[in-house]
Amino acid sequence: MSTRRRVLTLVATLATLTGCTIVPASGNPPTASEEERGGDILSQTYVRILASPPRPDATAVEIVRGFQTAMASFDDPQRKIARQYLTGAAAAEWQPWAAATRVCDCRFADDLPEEDAEKFIVSFKGRQVGTLEAGGRYRAASEGTLDEAFTLVRVNGEWRISEAPQGLILLRTDLTRAYAPVEIYFPNPSFNGLVADRVRVPIDPSRGLPESLIRTLLRGPTGPLAGAVENVFPKGTELNGIEIEGDTLYVDFSSPIAQLRDSPDRIKAMKAQLAWSLGADRVGGRYIEILVNGEAFPGGGMRFKPTEYPTYNPSVITGDAAGYFVREGRMFRAAGKDEEQPAAVLGAAGQPTRPFNHIAVSAEGRDQVAALMSDETGVWVTQMVAGSPWQRWINAQGSLTSPSWDREGEVWAVESAGGKSQVWHAANANHQSPVPAPELADSTVSAFRVARDGVRVAVVADHGAGPTVQIGSIVRGQTYRVGALETLVPAEEGQRVVDVAWKDATTLLVLTEKNGSQQTLAAYPIMDGDEKTAIEVPKRLSYITSTDSRILASDDNGAITVWDGKKWTTLVDGGSNFPAYPLG
């Protein structure tokens, strides 16, 4: 079956694979119905917007409303119908993609022109809630207004728009109705793990979501991930189409993809990229088979199950990972389900021979601990193996952030002194390197946490106006660089950022304190501007660490507590501090 030529498309099967509600776009914006997504990405219900040209008797307000509605119609990708609401000159000048698409909660003014008026201006005002960038990356706007005006004139007795803002303007309901938020995945530079990138994919009825998703994947990563991750698909690879037959989803690419034939690491990463992007739970238990121009992939075909690539998980660890903390100059492993008491770890970290603090634990299997010493400068590392000594991996004289491990076994820290900062990383005791980070050079950095995917970083930095939480990325190559910083939590008067911790690959926990007393702990989605989720804080906390399902924290009294998603439970009554999960 896989060796014969296929014409792969979803168009012929859309009637059976998808359901849609058709909403015509007229002078008044349609009422948006909630998009219904089933567990199978090939059988979704969605609202389809059919743009319609202006009515001959349309009022000025109906014209601008119809124009705005036509902007959201993906049955009209060139926005030909939207241009019919414009005068000839305005239609030639209007560029729908001249800038990032603005998303707002706005309304048109209801003023009416004089009966004999030949020109009229309709205002469009409200709160801008975000922008949709090229490639589908959505950025929420914490605050902002949108204030635009549409100038209309009469053309042969009918109202037309003679001046319109450049770019697309969508209502929040348009975004919900016309775009599907999906996570696509790209390999890290070592091809041993994936990094998530959330985008908004246009719901194109002629293609279906899976095809739109894969085409988006082929275009590469967006925003700060550009340059920090790999896209395994060779340049020039195009999607010919997709088809379902029996228990297999066939994905047909153009010939450049065959260049991967002699690159087993890249092939494995590419399969993981597709498996995670399409989603094993949504493919419905089907196999995925890669074709090249309708034929089997060279060398015997390429057929695989989406569930075969758990080791590429961007979050790396789960809630089952062991937690650690420091007590009386020794490092302990927190008691597990079958353990009654915490146990001291093996090696130098489990011995009270040298005072240390601010621990970080490497990925499971490497069993390394990094820490700051109370009586020495720099970052010191030891293994949780009997007889293992402390070794200084990073030798820096200024104030250092808590160390942080990446999934490649490298340790990171930032040195700050006199309002200047320098990022350091080390792979062993003999290989310490400075890392350029121009956006942090003139700031004081108090926390630097590498995400478990090894690419993103969370930084607490004061650039002169108070501490902010920023998300950036690590670009790896012959030289490293940290950059593309974007603010997640802005500076506020009286606010101190107590600690930050990665919950999973795309969620950061931020513990803040206002005016020296009130504490707030919240989970921030870092990719799409979704609302933060507050988490109860029963006591004043000092440090936090997390997995995808549990938070380990120390309070001001030295107690170690754990949050299981519903309640806090005390693990150690007092005298302890510096909790840590692997890669946390």
- Other CB atoms within 10 A of residue 14 CB: 16
* Under 8 Å between Cβ of 472 and 485: yes
Q: Which residue has the tokens 């000048």?
A: 93
Question: How far, rounded to the nearest angstrom, does the alpha carbon of residue 81 sit from its chain's CA centroid?
Answer: 34
Q: Which of 423, 424, 420, 350 is nearest to 392 (CA)?
A: 424
Is the CATH number 2.120.10.30 carried by domain 324-580?
yes
Report the amino acid identity of residue 64. Answer: V
Residue 66, token pair as written in the block: 């119809």
- Distances from the Cα of 576 to the Cα of 320, 379, 406, 554, 555, angstroms: 22, 21, 25, 7, 9
* Under 8 Å between Cβ of 345 and 369: yes
Long-range contacts of 283-289 (CB under 8 A, 24+ apart): 283/40, 283/41, 283/249, 284/39, 284/40, 284/42, 285/247, 286/244, 286/247, 286/248, 286/249, 287/247, 287/248, 287/249, 288/248, 288/249, 288/251, 289/2, 289/248, 289/249, 289/250, 289/251
Question: Domain residue spans in the chain?
Answer: 11-178, 180-286+299-311, 324-580
Q: Which residue has the tokens 């070592």?
A: 190
Query: Which residues does residue 411 pair with via DSSP β-bridges, in sequence order?
Result: 405, 426
* pLDDT per residue rounded down to tens, the chain (584 residues): 444 344 343 333 333 334 444 444 444 333 333 333 334 445 455 566 678 899 999 999 999 999 999 998 877 878 999 999 999 999 999 999 888 899 999 999 988 888 889 999 999 999 999 999 888 899 888 678 999 999 999 999 999 999 999 999 999 988 888 888 889 999 999 999 999 999 998 877 667 788 888 999 999 998 889 899 999 999 999 999 999 999 999 999 999 999 999 999 999 999 999 999 998 777 888 999 999 999 999 988 999 999 999 999 999 887 778 999 999 999 999 976 666 789 999 999 999 989 999 999 999 888 999 999 988 999 999 999 999 999 999 999 889 999 999 999 999 999 999 999 999 999 999 999 999 999 999 999 999 999 999 999 999 999 999 999 999 999 998 899 999 999 999 999 999 999 999 999 999 999 999 988 889 999 999 987 678 999 999 889 999 999 999 999 999 999 999 999 999 999 999 899 999 999 97
